[in-house]
Chains A and B, each alone.
Chain A
Amino acid sequence: MEYRDQILNGNLTLPGASTIEAKLGEDILAKAESLWSALWHNFLNHESPINSTYWYEQWDDPKSFNLIIMSLCKSGWLISTAIPERNWAEMQLNRDHLLSFVTEAELLEVRSQYKFQQYRPRATKSTKSDLVRLNGKLDRTGLIRTGFMKAGNTRYSYDLDTLVKYQEAIQLNLTKSMSKIRDIHPQMKASITDYDEISVDILNYLVDEQPTMTRGNCVADSRGRAISSSLSKVANPISCKDFRALLTMEQ
């Protein structure tokens, strides 16, 4: 697929992957793809850089690390910045290079769609019962929660009439924290990829599409309490009480 199509589909693969594999081997290709994925997702999320020293440590082979970085920089995809005076090094995708394949508006739409899909509540199957978040990492510690797993498949929707009736107030509650940040920093630019804009899109989606959703998989915290994957979604009934009150039972 051409780069333009890949970008528009929100899935830009590592340029020159076959050459990297041929010259440096499968292991280096796997590391390069992992680095590229982080670069691409950081770009889609916030157009933000990644920490080069962190990736240097992950890579554990300075020579091939720099070879890949240099090659991506020279082909225009990447900007790597190393500032010894500030003890700082970071890298990010070259926005101007991306804009040689798509327009500014298209790129913004790709990022907006990516975030919309990331935060949209959906119906996913819950199948995991033994995963535990321990000091920030997933692990198996002996805690088993089959009840939480089963309950993760409970299907629900939201009461459309009431949602529409109170849409304005619900939207204000949903975007409250971003509104406060904007009040403190009025110079902050608004964009269609901002969390509050995405939240409004998702609210409209809930009204237009009336989807059926589930809570999905849970992991346990180190003590055994449930951390639901749906907590990362906008308008979930666990952290948003307005949506909890709108719950309608689906079978």
Chain B
Amino acid sequence: MATISGANAVFLFVAELNGYKSGPSMDDKIQYGIRCWLSTKLLELDLEQEDHRKHLHENIWLERLYLDLDRAFGLDNIEGAIRKELFRINPCDMSLTLDPNYSWTVPIELDAGASMLQVEAMLLGDLQLATATNMVEGPLTDPWSIKGLTRNQVKKACTPMLYGSSQACYELWESNGIQFGIDEVRTYNEALNTGYLAVANLFKEFIINNCKPSPIMDVTIWGESFRIECNRFRNVGERTVGYDIYDSESGTIKRVFHTTTAKVPDLDQFRRYFVTLLVHNIDSQVADAIAEAVYDEFGWVIDIHDAFIVNPEAASFVRAKYAELMEEIFTNRKAILGDYFRSIGISSSAQKQWNQLQSKIVPMDSFKCGPMALK
């Protein structure tokens, strides 16, 4: 069954595929999606070129969504000129022509707008992070947008750095083949020390500097207790062993010496694991809960880390569930962080650095998560 809510979810996804990253409101994004549909807007791709083929999936999805929308709204045999006229006359009230008996065939993807920053926004109760990631209702923004830098530059440096990478932005840009100059390095470093990125950066530093890893640990995150093991190792020496093995060519047993490197857990490097441990565990608990609820209710969902591929009719359910879970994290943030810090050995001796982090936070007394936390 097709509803306007489902159609709006498709329009939002159409807008997203067509590059809508920021704008005045969710409704504006829906209207942009409608305009894209009625004008059958696609990316201009030359499929002979490898770089263009990287975006083929966007056009495939758009073409299929346009056809699904056409069928749902009875426009599948309407020519282009008439479509535009139809849109000019009545761009908003699409409900008049929607066939309620239509069943969508093409699923849509709802993707968290920077789930790492969203989870940290909730754990720290920071308004800046929540606003930058569209968790607060209002104008839509791109969390990976910094004036003077391309989106690719920001995302390719911020994601690993805020997860704990020890590499500098220019090293990450170099390894991703991204062009840059000294001004861009300066702009990036400035951004990382101000506003919402500074909060995320200090939070990362706080965890890495103050955790006390051991080779095997039991940790607790948001009510879930489980075992982890050190995944970084350093070499401490070599061990050579002789093996007597039959050789078919000579028909004799020959002795072969094989040297292996003895390894021990590298607990210093292991520190960098504890930021992703917290964020990925929480986003996986969120994804798991949503996948279960959507599967039980609608029977169809494919979760991919912090993204959900669902029937358009399930979209508002997913957005509501995601918002509910984010609010739950916000409400229980002190207990979640307290349990986690205790389980990874962060003690009161870290108070000074915690206070420094707190001074950068713009606190929220209460929080209501908006639907556009999922793009």
Contacts and interface: CB of A to CB of B under 8 A. Distances in A.
A81 B247 contact: yes
B60 A246 contact: yes
Contact of B302 (A78, A162, A215): A215
Range of interface residues on A (Cβ < 8 Å): 35 or more
Interface stretch (B166-174, B282-290, B340-348): B282-290
B227 to A, nearest CB: 4
A145 B284 CA distance: 9
B228 A222 contact: yes
B244 interface: yes
Range of interface residues on B (Cβ < 8 Å): 35 or more
A248 B106 CA distance: 5
Contacts of A62: 243-244
The CB with the most chain A CB atoms within 10 A, among B249, B256, B295, is that of: B256
Contacts of B302: 151, 154, 156, 215, 237-238, 247
Nearest to B54: A173
Interface stretch (B120-128, B194-202, B273-281, B363-371): B273-281
B304 A53 contact: no
A151 B294 CA distance: 9
A30 interface: no
Contacts of A188: none
A83 B245 CA distance: 10
A89 interface: yes
B224 interface: yes
Given A56-B245, A223-B277, A248 B58 contact: no
Q: Mostly helix, strand, loop or mixed at chain A's interface?
A: mixed
A143 B226 contact: yes
Contacts of A146: 288, 292
Interface stretch (A12-20, A40-48, A164-172): A164-172
A244 interface: yes
Contacts of B218: 142
B244 A224 contact: no
A23 to B, nearest CB: 17
Given A134-B229, A151-B301, A249-B311, A53 B58 contact: no
Contacts of B226: 132, 141-143, 224
B290 A147 contact: yes
B291 to A, nearest CB: 4
A150 B245 CA distance: 48
Q: Which 4 A-B pairs have the closest CB atoms?
A: A147-B292, A142-B226, A147-B291, A224-B284
Interface of A: 52-53, 56, 62, 66, 69-70, 73, 78-84, 87-89, 132, 134-135, 141-143, 145-148, 150-151, 153-156, 159, 162, 166, 168-170, 172-173, 176, 215, 220-226, 237-238, 241-242, 244-249, 251
30 contacts: A52-B256, A53-B245, A56-B245, A66-B244, A66-B246, A79-B248, A81-B248, A87-B258, A87-B259, A89-B258, A147-B291, A147-B293, A151-B294, A151-B295, A151-B303, A154-B302, A156-B302, A166-B56, A172-B53, A223-B276, A223-B281, A224-B280, A225-B305, A226-B287, A226-B305, A242-B60, A245-B58, A247-B106, A247-B302, A248-B105
